[in-house]
Structure 1
Amino acid sequence: MILPIVAYGDPVLRKEGQDITADYPELDTLISNMFETMYNAQGVGLAAPQIGLPIRLFIIDATPFADDEDLSEEEQAALKDFKKVFINARILEENGTPWTFNEGCLSIPDIREDVSRKEIVRLEYFDEHFTRHEEEFSGLAARVIQHEYDHIDGILFTDKLSSLRKRLLKGKLANISKGKVRVDYKMRFPAAKKAR
Structure 2
Amino acid sequence: MIKPIVHDPLQLSTPAAPATPLDAGIVTDLLDTLRAHEDNCVGMAANMIGQNKRIIVVLMGVLPVAMINPQLRQKSQPFQTQEGCLSLTGERPTTRYQTITVDYLNQQFQPQHQQFSGFVAQIIQHELDHCNGIVI
Q: Does the pair score TM above 0.5?
A: yes
Q: Point out the structure with max Rg over C-alpha.
A: 1
| Alpha-carbon distance in structure 2 between the residues aligned to 1:28 and 1:155 | 21
Aligned to 2:14: 15
Which of 111, 117, 131 is the matching residue for 1:132? 111
| Structure 2, unaligned runs of 5 or more | none
| Alpha-carbon distance in structure 2 between the residues aligned to 1:25 and 1:148 | 18
> Taking every aligned residue pair, what percent have the same amino acid on both sides?
28
| Structure 1, unaligned runs of 5 or more | 64-80, 158-196
Q: Does 1:100 align with 2:86?
A: no
| RMSD, aligned α-carbons | 1.9
TM-score, normalised by the number of residues in structure 2: 0.88
- Larger helix proportion of the pair: 1
Are the equivalent residues in 2 in contact too, given 1:34–1:59 (CA < 8 A)?
Answer: no
Aligned AA for 2:13?
R
Equivalent residue pairs, number:
136
- Larger strand proportion of the pair: 2
| Alpha-carbon distance in structure 2 between the residues aligned to 1:31 and 1:113 | 24
Q: Residues 54 and 146 (structure 1 numbering): CA distance in 2 closer, same or farther, change over 3 Å?
A: same
Aligned to 2:101: 122
TM-score, normalised by the number of residues in structure 1: 0.63
Aligned to 1:24: 23
| Alpha-carbon distance in structure 1 between the residues aligned to 2:65 and 2:86 | 18
